[in-house]
Structure 1
Amino acid sequence: MDVYEESYPVGFTAVDESGYLSMAAAFDYFQEAAIRHAEALGVGRAPMAEIRQGWVLSRMSVLMEKRPRQEEQITVRTWPRGWEKLFAIRDFDILDRAGIPIVRARSCWLIVDIDKRRPLRPQATMEKLPLNEGRDSLADGGSSLETMEAAGYHPEKLGERRAAYSDIDFNGHMNNARYVQWIQDITDPDALTKAKAMRLDINYLNEIKLGETMEIRTVSVPQGTFIEGRRTGDGQAAFRAKLRLNPAV
């Protein structure tokens, strides 16, 4: 099973007020597909846990060139794409009814030693999986986002947000798609609903646990909005993201 795919209509809870797929819902779709494909390939949560290893999402980039609308039939696909240094690469896309890719994504994962909490070299695991050479969905995705200060910007504190029960997943920390919901919640809702296309690049830097409070900092620049969440307790950055609405594609 080199490429995993599943088809279904866009559901009611996956759209925003515009009636079109939200970015957070796309992350949900990709997360579920990646889990099921990893299980089918024998590298899902249970077999990895048996050898005291686990998957940690480190970076993800999603480009929605066209947003599918509610009840539109779509096909979600995902496939492994080998590795680069410490990162295992997994690509995704969403096809419309005509089979045309309208959403494209790339993710970078770390394989970690559960006991030592350290990343491992991914070759031993990834060499057993399909390489899908030449099948690039979003080849420019997965890069590291520098701090806003390093980029020459001066962020402002937008507010604080506390990780609540509904943010936490089976692994005991905030789910990757919930970060995207937070980003949506601090973005101008009118701009989001009117956007015909969008791109989000996000780096997951430190896990967020139940009850932890994040200071949300943002800065708007011509090419988009930078968003960063820092733990109020120790000042450590938990995530860093860049959102672009209606980007040139």
Structure 2
Amino acid sequence: MSAYCFRRPFWLRYTDFDFKDELSLTALLGIIQESATGSADELGFGYADLKPKNYGFLVVNTYGEIFRRPAFGETVTVETWPLPPRHVFFERDYRVLGEDGQPVAAAASRWCLVDLSTFSLLTGEALGEANTNCPYNPEKSIAVPNWKVPRMQEGKEVYRTVARQSLCDHYLHVNNTRYADLFLDCLPMQALEGRTLQSFHISYAKQAKEGSELALFAEDRGNELLGEVRMGEEVLTQCRFTFRAR
């Protein structure tokens, strides 16, 4: 019996691309998240399955590497599968393939299952038969160097913004894909023109609700960007992006 793998094609729209005609990180994270949702639905622990219990999966880390930039109108296929849980961490890996079947990107993410009433962390046993019957696949699509994002040494505040309702999802906090734009907006077009994104790592510690005032801090090292979203003295989210020359 072959190992479980969920596959879904995505047609890339013009609105998925940035000012350099490159697939935006937000769009890439979006199709990854959509494929994860489809897989979870298929396996019996999707949003509709968990909502009656007031449970939810919240992402903790997302790491990925980009090998090739797809073109307008190209159809890419995302493959994803859940790995065996590690206590309160649920890992999931992804491959993004081009029309030629060659890899465009690979990614890995860690999630926590949360009781939304108490915000206590749950193990796989809370999923009941969906966990018992889940065809967890131990295959790794990518080696994650370190799940911890390094702190900035010389970070500076770049701008402030307020979390408006348009950034929020059904958990009433800023959706994880939206942080990519918040971080990349720390750099002007001129700084990004000569670089292309090579790898990304976003770590989510706390949630930003509607109305939260967010301060964006960044340290641009040329081939590396370190960033933090802060609310007061709290660090909500961190990133480490690496770039190569275009």
- State the distance in 2 between where 1:223 and 1:195 align: 8
| SS, match of residue 237 in structure 2 | strand
The whole-number CA distance in structure 2 between the counterparts of 1:34 and 1:111 is 14
Q: 1:188: Cα distance to partner?
A: 3.3
Partner of 2:169: 169
Partners of 2:217 and 2:196 lie apart in 1 by 26
Given the two structures, how large is their TM-score scaled by the length of structure 2?
0.89
Alignment equivalent of 1:130, drawn from 132, 135, 143: 135
1:187 offset after TM fit, Å? 2.2
Counterparts of 1:142 and 1:68 in 2: how far apart (Å)? 27
Give, in angstroms, the shift of residue 141 of structure 1.
5.9
Task: Give the Cα separation in 2 of the matches to 1:203 and 1:58.
Answer: 6
Tell me what 1:216 maps to.
216
Q: Per-residue deviation at 1:243?
A: 1.0
**1:97 alignment counterpart:** 99
Q: In 1, are the aligned partners of 2:206 and 2:236 still within 8 Å (CA)?
A: yes
Moved more, 120-129 or 177-186: 120-129
Distance 1:197 1:155, change over 3 A: closer
* Secondary structure in structure 2 of the residue aligned to 1:67: coil
Alignment map for 1:104-123 (pairs within 5 Å): 104-122=106-124
The one-letter amino acid of 1:15's match is: F
Determine what percentage of the aligned residue pairs are the same residue: 24
CA distance in 1, matches of 2:81, 2:71: 24
Write the distance in 2 (CA, Å) between the matches of 1:54 and 1:12. 32
AA at the equivalent of 1:55: F
Aligned pairs (5 A) from 1:218-233: 218-221=218-221, 224-232=224-232
**1:241 Cα deviation after fit:** 0.6
Of 8, 14, 17, the match for 1:15: 17
CA distance in 2, matches of 1:140, 1:237: 22
C-alpha contact 1:18 1:194 (8 A) present in aligned 2: no
Partner amino acid for 2:237?
A: F
Whether the 8 Å CA contact 1:66–1:103 is kept in 2: the answer is: yes
SS in 1 for 2:217: strand
Q: Following superposition, which runs of at least 4 residues in structure 1 exceed 6 angstroms of deviation?
A: none
Q: Who is 1:206 aligned against?
A: 206
**Is the 2:186–2:218 contact (alpha carbons within 8 Å) kept by the matching residues of 1?**
no
Tell me, which stretches of 5 or more residues in structure 2 are unaligned? none
Cα 1:7–1:190, aligned 2, differ >3 Å: closer, same or farther? farther
Question: Which of 55, 79, 82 lines up with 2:81 in the alignment?
Answer: 79
Q: Determine if the alignment matches structure 1 residue 140 to structure 2 residue 144.
A: yes
Q: Distance in 2 between matches of 1:246 and 1:103?
A: 15
Structure 1, residues 102-154: CA drift from partner, whole Å, max 9, x if none?
A: 11000000011222211122366445322212x21122167022433xxxx12
Counterpart of 1:242 in structure 2 is 240
Q: How does 1:34-49 map to 2 (within 5 A)?
A: 34-49=36-51
* Counterparts in 2 of 1:189 and 1:110: CA distance versus 1, 3 Å: same
8 Å CA contact 1:67, 1:196 repeated in 2: no
Q: Deviations over 1:188-213 (max 9, x none)?
A: 32454543442110111111111111
Corresponding residue pairs, total = 240
Which deviates more, 87-96 or 114-123? 114-123
How many angstroms apart in 2 are the aligned matches of 1:238 and 1:196?
Answer: 26
- The answer on whether the counterparts of 1:110 and 1:122 sit within 8 Å (CA) in structure 2 is no
Residues 106 and 142 in structure 1, CA contact (< 8 A), matched pair in contact too: no
Aligned to 1:6: 8
When residues 13 and 244 of structure 1 are mapped into structure 2, their CA distance, relative to the original with a 3 A threshold, is same
The TM-score with structure 1 as length reference comes to 0.88
Q: Read off the aligned partner of 1:241 and give its amino acid letter.
A: C
